[in-house]
Structure formats: C-alpha cells, structure tokens
Structure 1
Amino acid sequence: MFEYIDGRLTFKCPTYVIVEAGGIGYHINISLNTYSNLGDDERCKVYTWLHVKEDAHTLYGFADEGERRLFLHLISVSGIGPGTGRMMLSSITPVEIQSAIVTGDLPLIQRIKGIGAKTAQRLVLELQDKLKKEGQGSLIAAPLRTTAREEALSALIMLGFAKPASEKVLDNVIKTGGLELPVEQMIKLALKNL
C-alpha cells in the first residue's frame, strides 16, 4: 500500500521512528540496521511494508529497498513473522543474513534470537535458490541507487533498451565515474556500452 514515506523525521529510537508527511505522523517499526543507516537529518525517506491483521495495521520501515526485499523474503518462510524478520535484521546485517542463507551457514542463522535449527534449515531450503538467482545476493552486490541513476534508467528504457542490461551498465558507469555524474553524462556513457 505504501511504497515509501518521505518526510520529516520527528522522532527516532532503535525500535521505531515517527516520520511526518503531509501533516500526518507515521509510526514506523524499524530494525537496528535501519536505525543505524537513518541519519539524524530532519528529512528522510523510509521504504515501508504494511502488515495488516484483523486487530492491527503495523507499518515496518527500511533504510533501503534491498533491506525491505530481504525482509519480504524472510517473512515468506513458514514460521517467520514480521517480528522475527525484524529481529533477524537487528541481530546481524542484511548482507550477513543473505550470505549465511546463500552459503548454508546454519550456525550463524541459529545465533539469532528466535531462530532454531528447523527454522534455520527451512530458511536455507526455501530462500537459497531465490537469493542466488538475484545475483549471488542482491544486497551483497546491491545496485547503487541515486535519483540521477533512476532518471538515466528511465531514459534508457524509453529509448528501447532492456531494463536489466541498462541497470547493469548504469551501475558500472556510476562505479567508474562516481555518484556525482550528471544524468546526461550517465546516459551518454551508458549508450556507449549498450
């Protein structure tokens, strides 16, 4: 329902933040990873996921799309709810979780509070192939995301280039040229490599 909330950070603690957007203060549950990645800046953007139950609507927030994507993978596994998913993201970094699942590191996964041997095995069994297909872990090799990058990507897609190839080329352009490249320059460099 809510893709992200972009607004003014009015309160921040290790378990939740309050972001004011459009005159409404949103109470958003977060992991320690998100807490450490969110600055104390007044302006912030939090990627969200809404958990709807019969008796409550709970909003979960993430510092970036990669963490949210991993969270959604985790809660898709039987026996792992949003609270446990948040606990996992608070216990170890998303990159470590993803790496542990891809490599089958059961002892590391079991060190997380609330995760036993059977749940750890289920996590590896159900998510290992999915995370491998995302490119040896989408967080391990997470694409660099900037507004300029997104604009350049939209332009390349409108020009008729495939999204996956365009993303790969743009990420390489940003790695070599830096994040400060203007959109026009990104597009020109990408076109040379497509």
Structure 2
Amino acid sequence: MFDFLRGKVDYKTTNYVTVDVNGVGYKVFISLRTYDSISDGEEIKVYIYNHIKEEEFKLVGFLNQQERNLFEMLLSVKGVGVSLALAIMSTFDMDTIKALIVSEDYLTLKKVPKLGQKKSQQIILDLKDKISKLEVASGEKRLELEKHSNIEEELIMALEGLGYNKKDIAKLIDKEEVKTYKDIQDAIKATLRKI
C-alpha cells in the first residue's frame, strides 16, 4: 500500500488532485483545506490513506501525518465514512476539530454538511479521551524539546565564555547527548570531561 506520494500537481479540483509521479498520474482525494494549500505545477508530498472496499479503491491525501492520523480517528467512529471525514476536515482546521471534540461542542461540530447532532455527539463520545491523551503527550514532548534546546544554548554560551571558538564547540556538543543531561551544570561537567 502507499504511505506517501511525492510528485507534481498536474490537475486539481476541490475534491481531488492528480499527482504526477514520474509520468504516472495518481488521483488523490483531498479536503478543501489541502486544496487551498497547493498550487498547479507545485512539487508536493502527500501522506496517503488507502481506502479499500469491495468495489472501491481510493487514495486520500494529507499534507502531514498528523492530519492523516486525525482523519483515521474520525473514520474509526461508527457511521463516519471517507466523504464525511473529509467534509469535517474541510470545514474546520485540525486544531479546531480537536478543540471542539475535547470541549464537547457538538453544536459547532454539527455545522459540517450532512453531520447531524447524533453523529456529532458520537464523534465526541468516541474520540474525546483519545484526543485528550494525545494532546497531553504532545505537550509533554514539546516541553522536553524546549528544555533540551535551552540546555544546548546555555552550554554554547558557557563554552564561548571559556574561550572556545564555534568550530571547537560544534565538535564538543553532541545533540543526542544533550538530551541525556538533567540541567546546564550536568551538561557543562560532562562536556569539560571530554576536553
């Protein structure tokens, strides 16, 4: 199955885009938000959801993996098919969809064409916990990355203060090692031990 396609936009409509990959045109169904983000002739990479039913095979494309993951979550809800999931993603951006689900705002969610109150409530019921857990995990990961980035910046400044030039500092700092340091003191001690 396809995981992603990289190629040139040969043709686009509000429903799908034809991606030319080495002379082969792939018809990829997209949301209106994806349609607005791409131009004719542009080189793009689309992450693919392979929709396979008895008589039907469709490629559905997204510009990033997070969008595809959310689309797959929407499809896991009973009664939500490819067209309806794409309609939801055409109406609201990814962050808004997550916020509507977590805050249980079915009144705003049901503004999506062909998505009634019952189905809106079903989406919220099925996905609220999953999305809440994902948001907490991604928030923690973001904080951890910020912490490592700050330690690396402080370490560079400390080494510059000790008289080391940028070339030597680049050799001394290992980005993977920086992730293992608890704080700046730990980072300085470990780096000076290498000298």
* TM-score, L = length of structure 2: 0.72
Residues 100, 57 of structure 1: CA spacing in aligned structure 2 closer, same or farther, 3 A cutoff? same
Deviation at 1:171, TM superposition (A): 6.5
Does residue 191 of structure 1 match 2:177? Answer: yes
Residue identity in the other structure for 2:119: T
Residues 72, 174 of structure 1: CA spacing in aligned structure 2 closer, same or farther, 3 A cutoff? farther
CA distance in 1, matches of 2:74, 2:137: 13
Query: Secondary structure at 1:26's aligned position in 2?
Result: strand
Encode CA deviations 1:110-163: one digit per residue, 9 max, x unaligned.
11111111111111111000001102496xx6xxxxxxxxxxxxxxxxxxxxxx
Query: Secondary structure at 2:135's aligned position in 1?
Result: coil
Q: Which residue does 2:131 correspond to in 1? A: 131
Residues 137, 64 of structure 1: CA spacing in aligned structure 2 closer, same or farther, 3 A cutoff? farther
CA distance in 2, matches of 1:130, 1:191: 32
Identity across matched positions, percent: 31
Q: Which residue does 1:108 correspond to in 2? A: 108
Deviation at 1:172, TM superposition (A): 6.2
Kept in 1: contact 2:46–2:63 (CA 8 A): yes
Show structure 1 runs of 5+ residues with no match: 142-163, 178-183
Residues 170, 30 of structure 1: CA spacing in aligned structure 2 closer, same or farther, 3 A cutoff? same
Residues 89, 53 of structure 1: CA spacing in aligned structure 2 closer, same or farther, 3 A cutoff? same
Residues 169, 190 of structure 1: CA spacing in aligned structure 2 closer, same or farther, 3 A cutoff? farther
Show structure 2 runs of 5+ residues with no match: 154-169, 181-195
Q: Which residue does 2:74 correspond to in 1? A: 74
Does residue 35 of structure 1 match 2:35? Answer: yes
Residues 137, 41 of structure 1: CA spacing in aligned structure 2 closer, same or farther, 3 A cutoff? farther
Residues 188, 69 of structure 1: CA spacing in aligned structure 2 closer, same or farther, 3 A cutoff? same
CA distance in 2, matches of 1:127, 1:66: 15
- Stretch of structure 1 that moved more, 40-49 or 62-71: 40-49
Deviation at 1:63, TM superposition (A): 1.3
User: Higher Cα Rg: structure 1 or 2?
Assistant: 2
Deviation at 1:45, TM superposition (A): 0.2
Deviation at 1:105, TM superposition (A): 0.7
Residues 81, 9 of structure 1: CA spacing in aligned structure 2 closer, same or farther, 3 A cutoff? same
Deviation at 1:81, TM superposition (A): 0.3
Residue identity in the other structure for 1:76: S
Residue identity in the other structure for 1:93: D
Residues 121, 136 of structure 1: CA spacing in aligned structure 2 closer, same or farther, 3 A cutoff? farther
* TM-score, L = length of structure 1: 0.73
